[in-house]
Structure formats: C-alpha cells, structure tokens
Amino acid sequence: MKFGLFGSAQAKRGGPDVDSAKGYNDWLDFNVEAEQLGFHSTFAVEHHFTGFGQVSATVNLLTYLAARTSTMRLGTAVMVLPWHNPVLLAEQVATLDLLSGGRFDFGVGKGYRFNEFKGFRIPMEEAEARFEESLEILAKSFTNDEPWSYEGDFWSFEDVIVEPPTAQQPHPPFWMGAGSPASIEKVAERGHNLLVDQFASIDATIERVDTFRKAVEARGRTFDANEVGVARGLYVAKDAADRDAAIERRIQARRRVDNLAQNPDGTNKATMMSYDDSTATTAEAAFFGTVDEIVAKIEKFRAAGVKYMLFSDGGSGIEGLRTFSKEIIPAFADEDDDAAIKAAE
C-alpha cells in the first residue's frame, strides 16, 4: 500500500508579535520529514475567507515545497475551478509540474462552501457550468502546441498558447472528489482519478471504490487501485482517553467549517455536508486510535482492494507520523516497496 497526506496549512493573522508564516513553515517541515519517513504524497486544500487562515494560494505553497523535496508527489485537493481564470491556472500548474520534475497531481472540484462563493460574488448555482467550461479550457491549454481561441459562457480567449509545457504528458493527472454513484460514474467517464472524502463510513467508502472500479471496467479499461485515493483523518493516540478527546476536537472543528459552508437557508446538500457528526460516526470513519486500532481499520481497506490512503493530521503531528512510519507502514508494505521498507528500518 501507499500512504500520503491530505490537509491544510494555516497562516494566522496578528500584530507584530505574531509570525504569520509560522503555520506555513511548520507545514513545510512536516511534509519534508514525511517524505523521509516514506510517505508517497501530499495533497493540499484550497480555501478562502475562513478567518482562521486556511491555505488559499495552494499552487504557490506546493511550488515552495517542491523545492524542498525530491520524491514526494504534490497534489491539490482540490483547486476550485469556478474561482480561477483557467488559462492563468494552467500556466501556474504547468510551472509547478515542470519545476518539480513531473510530481504534480491536479485535484480539481466545483466547491461547496457558501461563504467562498459569496465572497467571490459567484452564484453557487453556476458552479457546475463554470467547472465544466474551465475543465475544457484546461485540457486545451495543456494539449495545444499552436495558438487557439475560445468563446464560452464565462471565459473567452483569443490567439493564446499556454506556456510553459508540463513535464507530464499530455498533462498532470486529474483527480476529482466524488461521493454519489452518478458523480463517481462521471469521474470514470472522464478517465480521471478518484478522491474519496474522509468523512464517509468505512463501508460506504469501500462501496464507492467498488462503484468506481465497475465503472472503469465497464468502459473497457483496466482498473488501477493506485488511481483511487481514500482520505481519512489520522490521530495516533496514547490511549482511549487521548483518542476520545481528539475525536471531540475533530467534531468541533468540523462544525466550525460546516457553519461557513452552509447556505443561510440550510439548503446546501453537497456530499461533504451530508454526514452525521455524532461521536460514534466520527470515531468509526476517522483513524483516531492506538496503533492496533489503526492497523485494524487499514486492514479492512486493504482486504477490499484499496491500495492508496491519504491522511489528514488530527493533531498527533510529526510524532504521529513517526510512529505510523515505524509501526504501521511495515505491516502494509509490499515486498518490492523499497522506500517504505527503508523508511521503517
């Protein structure tokens, strides 16, 4: 199995006594050591207007991380296409892919937080149409070597050629989050990779991966489990009391985000807004627990054919990753996985 990271950096506001860069620098150091510990990748989110400093300029931050790493794949989870000029975004992504030596994974999405659409003064009702148009323009940007023009509902370009070229051909792999069967089918139809969110139950997540496998095979392609990233929250606990306290903190943090995401009339029905945030449900879905408890949950996924998992740090920090690398990765390393075996020694 392969293990990567998923999450966010924070840059807090403050006066002259507050180092706003500290959260970013801590995140960078965290990922640099994670690479040394055998973690395969890191996916960073994109969010805006939170008031608590979630990373916003994701491509910029990953470009800095690219310069400090050499093997770790660098992904977005996700860049919200309705908010970005797609040609400018294609240029930024291509630059990152080129400078990283082809290590970029391009996670894209439509967005789901009401406060962000409100802040950009973009109607949420336009999210899907804007997403589809931007995705089409991105594909043209990456694959056309001659100048081209485009006239759409939201964007128009005349006689442009996107530079630089990407290192990966024809472009960095696209990753998309999906939860419903219809949206999972759409990811398979596009030929993109799948990201499964961290809040669904283990059984529901396994069912979604199986839906994707069947959809890929129904289209005459060979299913590759490495093209599905299953996200989970991770907290390596000292004992049951430590685990339970961390779960409660996770619930409170999620409620804070849900308050930003929900429409004033409560009509936001995005998959990310649909999960029960009770203690029992959160504890089942998240990988919060002792080493043995985490191993048991990973084993359920491995038995179902999952090969790639992405972990969002729930607060155990770099010490949690060190424990994971030493005590958990070896139990799931393939015989030919030299990087993981070496990191666990």
Count the Cβ atoms, other than its own, within 10 Å of residue 151: 8
Which regions of the chain are under pLDDT 50?
Answer: 335-345
Question: pLDDT digits over 33-84, tens only?
Answer: 999 999 999 999 999 998 888 999 999 999 999 999 999 999 999 999 999 9
pLDDT of residue 342: 46
pLDDT of residue 333: 85
What's the helix, strand, coil split of the chain in %, to 5? 50, 15, 35
pTM for the model? 0.93
Predicted confidence at residue 2, as pLDDT, reads 97
- Helix orientation angle between 181-190 and 202-218, rounded to the nearest 10 degrees: 40
Pull the structure tokens for residue 98. Answer: 């080129």
CA 313 to chain CA centroid, Å, is 13
Per-residue pLDDT at 273: 64
- Beta pairing class for 156-160 and 148-151: antiparallel
- Structure token digits, residue 113: 């937080």
For residue 168, the model assigns a pLDDT of 98
pLDDT at 336: 46
Given 3.40.366.10, 1.10.3720.10, 3.20.20.140, 3.20.20.30, which CATH number is that of 2-344?
Answer: 3.20.20.30
What percent of the chain clears pLDDT 90, i.e. is strictly above it? 84
Question: Would you kindly state where each structural domain of the chain is located, as residue ranges?
Answer: 2-344
pLDDT (0 to 100) of residue 340? 40
Contacts of 297 (CB under 8 A, 6+ apart): 202, 232, 287, 289
